[in-house]
A and B are shown apart, each in its own frame.
Chain A
Amino acid sequence: MVVERDVRILFSDSFLVGIMFANFAIDLFVTAATFGRLIPGGDYFLYIAPGSNFITASVAAFQSGRDVWREKHIKDLTSYLLSLPAPRPVFAFSRIMGGVVRSLIATFPGTLVIAYLYGILLGPEVLAAFMIVGLFSLGIVGLSITAASFVSSIEMFVTVRSAIQLYLSFLSTLFYPVAVFPPALTFLVSSNPMTWAVESFRSLPQSHGLVGPVSVLVAPSLAFAALGTLCYLWYAKL
């Protein structure tokens, strides 16, 4: 019920879902396509294509934190939420899962497009592709709700969101291999969830099983989700 409510909030303005896909399309068919022609050797377009979808996933996932912040500071829904007949940890984790489902819905067409580009659309790897997007979203929803719990103004939330998105986009292997980074930055790059997600996705066509590429994201995503759940419980005083 809680997950369904969050999904309904997303679809209360279906225009938003369309705009998110438009953002993805611009990232992929304008920016990635142009850099693909600009950078010689190999297929750079395919290299950065999964990143466009993960950027969309992170934007959709961050909407959850924004909604949580608005519920407390703008809509004053805390009393209503406290009255719901659900165990509070279950309720809090359901909010996280609601964010993951929303993100999966927002990235559904994008994941299919990238799976098609990678030639895995009709194979079992497409399931792993959705699992990778889902696990990545789980971690980012957790992070976004954690951020929403500690900021006092929407401007501060937007700033934190921008900082995290800059880290995810530019200090990861989304655009370039880890070898081009100065040694001082390689730790930051290697410990970036975006690096794990894009590398997992890129490995799908060559992988011999689905577990390997997906498994790298499980522990960190669950850790971020647990953090988000705890922060939400504390924040909403549930």
Chain B
Amino acid sequence: MSSSATQVNVSNNVTAPSGALMAPIVQMAIRDISVLFRTPWIIISRSLAFVIQLFVFAALISKLVNVTGLDFFQYYAVGSVVGTIASISFIIGYDIFEEAEEGVLDYLLTLPVSRRQFIIGRALGGAVRAMIYVIPMFVIVAVLENFSNPLSIAGALLDLFLLAFGITGLSITVAVSVRNANRFDVVLALIELAIARASTALYPIAFMPSYVAALAPFSPVSFAADSTRAALIGASLDLVSLAGLVAFVVIFLGLGAAFYFRRVEGGVYA
């Protein structure tokens, strides 16, 4: 606890140079990025899922979908990138849960990093590594669908980053709220499934049953999918979806931080 008190003081030192405050955040983020890339199996399985979804499922199901004005392959291709980044962003929760189970969290808490820097660094690391991971897939879709406007691409990448940042916060919230390992696995998988399936990532809202269509507009994956499509296909900004994404990030980063502190510090937030 004495160590955390020291960290509280450091984090409250508003006169510290911004570079000194940023360095630990960047260190935490770099650690999380390297952790993901040290576990190639996760990357292999998610990449395989993306490739099969795009080149088998989307290609074949597009032959069956016959809706005027809807290029379903293009729709699904953009949505599958959004779905994949959501999926990979959830992995940070598994990392944090495992660290707590294996006692690595205790070691991490002894590092000379304030709690606030610690949580921001972890969330940032989770989001950045998801971006690094998904960019090759984004490139595949951009080449296939001939998306070449730099502003549209930048807008789409911003949407993806915001989604990744928010989901990282959501994943951390779940990781520190659920104690049982089996239950944690299944709860996280269920949340992942629910927010991806009940969203506009994979199919247009007009074709959803009414009970799904009522919820889908509020899924963060819908915000990201709509905004990304607006940027790439319509070369425009979907401000409502963008605002929804920002709200999602703020809410779940805040919740993630609050739950994390409550777990490690018994409720003392600093």
Given A34-B203, A39-B65, A155 and B41 contact (CB-CB distance below 8 Å): yes
In the complex, what's the smallest C-beta–C-beta distance from A15 to chain B, in angstroms? 6
In the complex, what's the smallest C-beta–C-beta distance from A5 to chain B, in angstroms? 16
Q: B212 contacts A34, CB within 8 Å?
A: yes
Task: Return the contact of B48 from the options A20, A44, A153, A162 (Cβ within 8 A).
Answer: A162
Q: A159 contacts B42, CB within 8 Å?
A: yes
Q: How far is the CA of A159 from the CA of B46 in the complex (A)?
A: 8
> At the interface, yes or no: B116 with Cβ under 8 Å from chain A?
no
Number of A-B contacts (CB under 8 A): 95
Q: A180 contacts B63, CB within 8 Å?
A: yes
Interface members, chain A 126-159 (any B CB < 8 Å): 153, 155-156, 158-159
B side interface size, CB within 8 A: 38
Task: Return the contact of A23 from the options B49, B63, B193, B211 (Cβ within 8 A).
Answer: B193
In the complex, what's the smallest C-beta–C-beta distance from B42 to chain A, in angstroms? 6
Main secondary structure of the interface of B (DSSP, over half): helix
Q: Residue of A at shortest CB range from B66?
A: A40
> At the interface, yes or no: A43 with Cβ under 8 Å from chain B?
no
Residues of B within 8 A of A166 (CB): 48-49, 52
Main secondary structure of the interface of A (DSSP, over half): helix
> At the interface, yes or no: A31 with Cβ under 8 Å from chain B?
yes
Q: How far is the CA of A153 from the CA of B39 in the complex (A)?
A: 11
Q: How far is the CA of A13 from the CA of B45 in the complex (A)?
A: 27
Q: B60 contacts A19, CB within 8 Å?
A: no
Q: How far is the CA of A223 from the CA of B203 in the complex (A)?
A: 39
Q: How far is the CA of A29 from the CA of B209 in the complex (A)?
A: 8
Task: Return the contact of B56 from the options A27, A40, A153, A170 (Cβ within 8 A).
Answer: A170
Residues of B within 8 A of A27 (CB): 197
Q: B209 contacts A159, CB within 8 Å?
A: no
Task: Return the contact of A159 from the options B44, B53, B203, B204 (Cβ within 8 A).
Answer: B44
Q: How far is the CA of A175 from the CA of B59 in the complex (A)?
A: 12
Q: B207 contacts A163, CB within 8 Å?
A: no
* Subset of 25 A-B contacts with CB under 8 Å: A13-B183, A15-B186, A16-B182, A16-B186, A19-B186, A23-B190, A26-B190, A26-B193, A33-B212, A34-B207, A37-B209, A38-B65, A39-B66, A155-B42, A158-B42, A158-B45, A159-B45, A163-B48, A166-B48, A166-B49, A166-B52, A171-B52, A171-B56, A175-B61, A180-B64
Residues of chain A whose beta carbon lies under 8 Å from any beta carbon of chain B: 13, 15-16, 19-20, 22-23, 26-27, 29-31, 33-35, 37-40, 44, 153, 155-156, 158-159, 162-163, 166, 170-171, 175-176, 180-181, 185
Kindly list 20 other residue pairs between chains A and B, CB separation below 8 angstroms, not including A15-B186, A38-B204, A180-B64: A16-B182, A16-B183, A19-B186, A26-B194, A26-B197, A30-B198, A34-B208, A34-B209, A35-B61, A37-B207, A38-B65, A38-B67, A38-B72, A39-B64, A155-B41, A156-B41, A159-B45, A162-B45, A162-B49, A166-B48
